[in-house]
Amino acid sequence: MTEPLLRVIDLKTHFRTKASWMFGEKQLIKAVDGVSFDIAPGEVLSLVGESGCGKSTVGRTLTHLEQATSGRALFEGRDFLVMSPNEFRPLRREIQMIFQDPFASLNPRLKIEQTLGEPLFIHGLCKTWDEARAKIAVMLETVGMDPLVMKRHPHEFSGGQRQRIGIARVMILKPKLVIADEAVSALDVSIQAQVLNLLKKLQQDSGVSMLFISHDLGVVRHISDQVAVMHEGKIVEIGRKRQIFEAPQHEYTRKLLESIPRVKIGKEVA
Mean pLDDT by 10 residues, the chain (270 residues): 90 83 73 96 95 94 95 96 93 93 85 95 95 97 96 93 94 96 85 91 95 90 94 96 93 88 47
Best CA proximity match to 220, nearest among 200, 249, 190: 200
pLDDT score at 265:
42
Q: What is the pTM of this model?
A: 0.89
pLDDT score at 266:
46
CATH architecture observed for domain 1-82+213-270: 3-Layer(aba) Sandwich (3.40)
pLDDT score at 24:
62
Point out which residues pair with 39 in neighbouring strands.
Answer: 6
pLDDT score at 125:
95
pLDDT score at 22:
61
Q: What are the distances in angstroms from CA 7 to CA 37, 80, 83, 253? A: 6, 11, 16, 23
Q: How far apart are the C-alpha atoms of 18 and 128, rounded to whole Å?
A: 48
Q: How far apart are the C-alpha atoms of 257 and 245, rounded to whole Å?
A: 7
The one-letter amino acid at 224: S
Residue partners of 136: CB distance under 8 A and separation at least 6? 112, 113, 116, 117, 120, 147, 150, 168, 172
pLDDT score at 35:
97
pLDDT score at 190:
81
Q: Are 128 and 134 in contact (CB under 8 A)?
A: no
The one-letter amino acid at 5: L
